[in-house]
Structure 1
Amino acid sequence: MPNKRATSLADEGLWIHKLVLIAVAALLALPIIATFIYSIATQWGATVLPDGLTLKWYLQLWQDPRFLQAFGRSLIICLGTLVLSTFVMLPMTFVVFYRFPRLKPLMDLVIIMPFAIPPVVSSVGLLQLFADEPFALVGTPWILLGTYFIIAVPFMYRALANSLQGIGLHDLMDAAHLLGASTTKAFLLIIVPNIRKGLLVSLLVSFSFLMGEFVLANILVGTRYETLQIYLYNMRHTSGHFTSALVMSYFIFTLLLTWVATRLSRQGDTV
Structure 2
Amino acid sequence: MSRIENFYHRGVVTVMLIILLSPLVATLIYAFSSQWGSTILPEGFTLKWMTELLQDPRFLIALEHSLIICFGALALSVVLVLPLMFVIAYYFPRLDSVMNILILLPFAVPPVVSSVGLLQLYSDGPLALTGTPWILIGCYFTIALPFIYRAITNNMQAIHLRDLMDAAQLLGASTWKAAILVVLPNLRKGCMIALLLSFSFLIGEFVFANLLVGNRFETLQVYLYNLRNGSGHLTSALVISYFLVVLLLTLAANTVNKDKD
The two structures have a TM-score, normalised by structure 2, of 0.98
Residue by residue over 1:11-54, the C-alpha shift from the partner in whole angstroms, topping out at 9 and shown as x without a partner, is 21011101111111111111111000000011101201111100
Question: Aligned pair 1:164/2:153, yes or no?
Answer: no
Question: Aligned pair 1:209/2:201, yes or no?
Answer: yes
Structure-2 separation of matches of 1:87 and 1:182: 21
Residue by residue over 1:196-220, the C-alpha shift from the partner in whole angstroms, topping out at 9 and shown as x without a partner, is 1111000001001110000011010
DSSP 3-state at the match of 1:15: helix
Match of 2:256 among 248, 264, 268: 264
Question: Aligned pair 1:250/2:242, yes or no?
Answer: yes
DSSP 3-state at the match of 1:238: coil
RMSD between superposed Cα atoms in Å: 0.9
Tell me which residue corresponds to 1:4.
none
Question: Aligned pair 1:230/2:222, yes or no?
Answer: yes
Which runs of 5 or more residues in structure 2 are unaligned?
A: none
Shift of 1:106: 1.1
Question: Aligned pair 1:148/2:171, yes or no?
Answer: no
Match of 2:185 among 189, 193, 204: 193
Tell me which residue corresponds to 2:48.
56
Match of 1:91 among 83, 106, 118: 83
Question: Aligned pair 1:104/2:107, yes or no?
Answer: no
Which stretch shows the higher mean deviation, 182-191 or 242-251? 182-191
Number of residue pairs matched by the alignment = 261
Residue by residue over 1:47-103, the C-alpha shift from the partner in whole angstroms, topping out at 9 and shown as x without a partner, is 011111000101000000011001100000001111111111111111110011121
What amino acid does structure 1 have at the position aligned with 2:89?
F
Larger Rg: 1
Structure-2 separation of matches of 1:256 and 1:69: 19
Tell me which residue corresponds to 1:10.
2
Residue by residue over 1:90-125, the C-alpha shift from the partner in whole angstroms, topping out at 9 and shown as x without a partner, is 111111100111211110110010000000011111
Residue by residue over 1:154-193, the C-alpha shift from the partner in whole angstroms, topping out at 9 and shown as x without a partner, is 1110001111111111110001011111111111111111
Structure-2 separation of matches of 1:26 and 1:183: 50
**Identity among equivalent pairs (%):** 57
Which runs of 5 or more residues in structure 1 are unaligned?
A: 1-8
Tell me which residue corresponds to 1:35.
27
Structure-2 separation of matches of 1:135 and 1:194: 39
Structure-2 separation of matches of 1:256 and 1:132: 39
Tell me which residue corresponds to 2:116.
124
Match of 2:71 among 72, 79, 94: 79
Shift of 1:252: 1.1
